C-alpha cells in the first residue's frame, strides 16, 4: 500500500494528509478500532476530549509498538475549558488519558462566540505550544471573523482549521482565507456523514466508475487533490483499508471540477451545527 503523503504546516512540521478520526467511536470500541487502524497503516489519529475516548486511543498507541515519532496525534480543547488557566488543565488531562507527554496538534474545538473567550483560549494554546505540550496548534470550526480576530490579537496564525467540508458544503470563504494565510484545511465529515446521497451523485459515481474505485474513495481522493487533510471514520477493518487505498489513482481536472460544482449555494449543504450556534 502506498505511503500516506504529508503536508507541510506553517510552523515547519509535517502532518500525514490522511488519518483516522474517532468521532462517535464508542469508548469501549476505541482501543480495538485504533489498533486496527494502526495495523493497516494509519499513523495520524484525530480525537478530542469531548469524544470521551482518549483513553482508548492511548491504550492502542501504547500497545502498538510504534515509536512516538512515527505517530501524529491530535486532540482538542472543549468549549467549557477556555477561561483562565483551564486550557493547561485540560491538555494535562488529555495527555494523561493518551499516555503522552505532548500531542502533535492541539485545537480549539469551537470558537463559542456567545462566550467571547476564544481569543483567550488561543492565547493559552500559544503558551501550551511554547511549553512543549503541543507541537503544533490550530483551531476547528472557526469562521473568517474568528480567525481574523485571533490572529490580530496574537500575531499567531493557526497551523490548521478543521471544518465541516464535503462536496455539498465546501466553505470557500474559509478555504480561500486559509490558502491566502498559510493555514491548512482539515475536512471533518468528509463524506457528508451519510446525511445525503453523496455516493449516488453523478459526478461522484462517474469518477468512481472511471477509476475502478468506490464512491467513497473517489470523494476522499477529491479532498486530497484539493490539498485538504482528511480523516474518515469507520470501525470496520475492511473499510479502514479501503479508505487508505486512495493513493494509486488521480481524478482528472474535469472530474475534480464536476465534484466542485456539487457545492450547494448559501451553505445549504451543511449537515451539522453552525459555529455561531455552538456555545
Active site members: 51
Residue 20 C-alpha cell reads as 483516522
Residue 182 C-alpha cell reads as 498559510
Backbone angles phi, psi at 161, to 5 degrees: -130, 115
Phi-psi region of 57 (alpha: psi -120 to 50; beta: other; left: phi over 0): alpha
Q: What is the 3-state secondary structure (H, E, C) of the chain?
A: CCCCCEEECCCCCEEECECEECCCCCHHHHHHHHHHHHHHCCCEEECCHHHCCHHHHHHHHHHHCCCHHHCEEEEEECHHHCCCCHHHHHHHHHHHHHCCCCEEEEEECCCCCCCCCHHHHHHHHHHHHHCCCEEEEEEECCCHHHHHHHHHHHCCCCCEEEEECECCECCHHHHHHHHHHCCEEEEECCCHHHCCCCCCCHHHHHHHHHHCCCHHHHHHHHHHHCCCEECCCCCCHHHHHHHHCCCCCCCCHHHHHHHHCCCCHHHCCCCCCCHHHCC
Amino acid at each position: 500500500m502506498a505511503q500516506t503523503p504529508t503536508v507541510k504546516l506553517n510552523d515547519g512540521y509535517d502532518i500525514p494528509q490522511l488519518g483516522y478520526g474517532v468521532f462517535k467511536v464508542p469508548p469501549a470500541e476505541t482501543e480495538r478500532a485504533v489498533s486496527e487502524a494502526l495495523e493497516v497503516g494509519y499513523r495520524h489519529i484525530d480525537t478530542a476530549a469531548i469524544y470521551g475516548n482518549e483513553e482508548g486511543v492511548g491504550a492502542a498507541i501504547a500497545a502498538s509498538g510504534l515509536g512516538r515519532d512515527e505517530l501524529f496525534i491530535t486532540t482538542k480543547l472543549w468549549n467549557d475549558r477556555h477561561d483562565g488557566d483551564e486550557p493547561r488543565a485540560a491538555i494535562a488531562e488529555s495527555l494523561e488519558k493518551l499516555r503522552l507527554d505532548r500531542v502533535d496538534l492541539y485545537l480549539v474545538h469551537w470558537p463559542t462566540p456567545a462566550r467571547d473567550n476564544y481569543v483567550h483560549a488561543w492565547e493559552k494554546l500559544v503558551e501550551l505550544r511554547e511549553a512543549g505540550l503541543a507541537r503544533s496548534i490550530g483551531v476547528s470550526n472557526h469562521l473568517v471573523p474568528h480567525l481574523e480576530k485571533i490572529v490580530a490579537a496574537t500575531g499567531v496564525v493557526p497551523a490548521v482549521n478543521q471544518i465541516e467540508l464535503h462536496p455539498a458544503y465546501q466553505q470557500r470563504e474559509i478555504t480561500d482565507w486559509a490558502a491566502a494565510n498559510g493555514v491548512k484545511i482539515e475536512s471533518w465529515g468528509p463524506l457528508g456523514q451519510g446525511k445525503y446521497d453523496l455516493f449516488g451523485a453523478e459526478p461522484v459515481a462517474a469518477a468512481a466508475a472511471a477509476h475502478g474505485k468506490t464512491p467513497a474513495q473517489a470523494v476522499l481522493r477529491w479532498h486530497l487533490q484539493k490539498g485538504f487533510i482528511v480523516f474518515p471514520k469507520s470501525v470496520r477493518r475492511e473499510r479502514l483499508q479501503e479508505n487508505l487505498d486512495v493513493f494509486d489513482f488521480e481524478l482528472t481536472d474535469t472530474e475534480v471540477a464536476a465534484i466542485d460544482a456539487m457545492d450547494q449555494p448559501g451553505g445549504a449543504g451543511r449537515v451539522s451545527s453552525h459555529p455561531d450556534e455552538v456555545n
